[in-house]
Structure 1
Amino acid sequence: MTLVDDCLYFDTAIVILIQREKDAGSRCVISMDSNSTSIYDPRNPGHVKTFTFDLAYWSHNGFLKDENGMLISAGSSSYAGQREVFCDLGQGVLQSAWQGYNATLLAYGQTGSGKSYSMIGYGANRGLVPSVCEELCKAIQSQEKNKQYQITFSMLEIYNEQVIDLLSKTRKPGGLKIREDQQQGFYVDGLKLVPCDNYAQIERLMDQGNKMRTTATTTMNASSSRSHMVITIQFKQIFLDEAITKQSVINLVDLAGSERQKSSGSEKDRLKEGTRVNLSLTTLGNVISALAEVATGKKVLHIPYRDSVLTKLLQSALGGNSRTIMIAALSPADICYEETLSTLRYAERAKKIRNKAVVNASPTKKLIRELKAENNRLLSRMAGLGSAGRAISDEAQLQLLAESEGRPRSTQMTWEARLEEARQEWEQQYSAMTQASVPASWFQMP
Structure 2
Amino acid sequence: MTMEHGEDCCVKVAVHARPLIGDEKLQGCKDCVTVVPGKPQVQIGTHSFTFDHVYGSSGTPSTAMFDECVAPLVEGLFQGYNATVLAYGQTGSGKTYTMGTACKEGTHVGIIPRAMAALFDKIEKLKNQVDFQLRVSFIEILKEEVRDLLDPATVTAGKVENGNGHTGKLSVPGKPPVQIREGSNGVITLSGSTEVHVTTQKEMTTCLEQGSLSRATGSTNMNNQSSHAIFTITLEQMRKADPIMASDGMPIEEMNDDYLCAKLHLVDLAGSERAKRTGSDGLRFKEGVHINRGLLALGNVISALGDEKKRKEGAHVPYRDSKLTRLLQDSLGGNSKTVMIACISPADINAEETLNTLKYANRARNIQNKPIVSLSSLASLETYQTCTYTFFIKLISFSP
Scaled by the length of structure 1, the TM-score of the pair is: 0.73
1:28 equivalenced with 2:31 (yes/no): yes
Q: Which residue of 1 aligns with 2:140?
A: 157
CA distance in 1, matches of 2:108, 2:389: 41
The 3 A distance-change label for structure 1 pair 408 and 339 is closer
The 3 A distance-change label for structure 1 pair 28 and 410 is closer
The 3 A distance-change label for structure 1 pair 55 and 411 is same
1:95 equivalenced with 2:100 (yes/no): no
Query: Is the contact made by 2:319 and 2:325 (CA closer than 8 Å) also made in structure 1?
Result: yes
Residue correspondences, number: 346
Displacement, 1:137?
1.2
3-state DSSP class of the match of 1:270? helix
State the AA in 1 paired with 2:345: S
3-state DSSP class of the match of 2:316? coil
Deviation sequence 1:165-206 (CA, Å, 0-9, x none) = 000132256842222211253321111111111101001111
Q: 2:373 aligns with which of 341, 344, 359?
A: 359
Query: Is the contact made by 1:295 and 1:354 (CA closer than 8 Å) also made in structure 2?
Result: no
State the AA in 1 paired with 2:272: S
Scaled by the length of structure 2, the TM-score of the pair is: 0.81
Displacement, 1:274?
1.0
Displacement, 1:302?
1.4
Q: Which residue of 2 aligns with 1:51?
A: 49
3-state DSSP class of the match of 1:209? helix
Displacement, 1:295?
6.8
CA distance in 1, matches of 2:294, 2:123: 37
Displacement, 1:116?
0.6
Deviation sequence 1:75-113 (CA, Å, 0-9, x none) = xx75623x3211112212212111110000011111111
1:303 equivalenced with 2:308 (yes/no): no
Q: Which residue of 2 aligns with 1:130?
A: 113
Deviation sequence 1:227-277 (CA, Å, 0-9, x none) = 000011110110133121111111000000111122111112221121110
Q: Which residue of 2 aligns with 1:383?
A: none
Larger Rg: 1
1:119 equivalenced with 2:105 (yes/no): no
The 3 A distance-change label for structure 1 pair 78 and 324 is closer
CA distance in 2, matches of 1:252, 1:208: 16
CA distance in 2, matches of 1:300, 1:265: 41
1:166 equivalenced with 2:164 (yes/no): no
The 3 A distance-change label for structure 1 pair 408 and 118 is closer
Query: Is the contact made by 1:20 and 1:220 (CA closer than 8 Å) also made in structure 2?
Result: no
Displacement, 1:50?
0.6
State the AA in 2 paired with 1:57: Y
Taking CA–CA contacts closer than 8 Å with sequence separation of 6 or more, which of the two structures ends up with the larger relative contact order?
2
The 3 A distance-change label for structure 1 pair 143 and 29 is same
Q: 1:220 aligns with which of 207, 219, 222?
A: 222
Displacement, 1:409?
9.0
3-state DSSP class of the match of 1:164? strand
Query: Is the contact made by 2:177 and 2:192 (CA closer than 8 Å) also made in structure 1?
Result: no
Q: Which residue of 2 aligns with 1:372?
A: none
Counterparts in 2 of 1:6-405, with a 5 A limit? 7-16=9-18, 17-33=20-36, 34-40=39-45, 48-59=46-57, 80-81=61-62, 83-120=63-100, 122=103, 123-169=106-152, 170=154, 171=171, 175-221=177-223, 224-241=224-241, 242-294=256-308, 297-364=311-378
CA distance in 1, matches of 2:66, 2:238: 27
State the AA in 1 paired with 2:321: D
The 3 A distance-change label for structure 1 pair 107 and 295 is farther
Runs of 4+ in 1 over 6 A off after TM superposition: none
Query: Is the contact made by 1:293 and 1:299 (CA closer than 8 Å) also made in structure 2?
Result: no
Q: Once structures 1 and 2 are overlaid, which stretch shifts more, 161-170 or 114-123?
A: 114-123
3-state DSSP class of the match of 2:15? strand
Structure 1 segments unaligned to the other structure (5+ residues): 41-47, 60-76, 369-406, 416-446
CA distance in 2, matches of 1:20, 1:163: 34
Displacement, 1:160?
0.7
Root-mean-square deviation (Å): 2.4
Higher share in helix: 1
State the AA in 2 paired with 1:80: P
The 3 A distance-change label for structure 1 pair 410 and 212 is closer
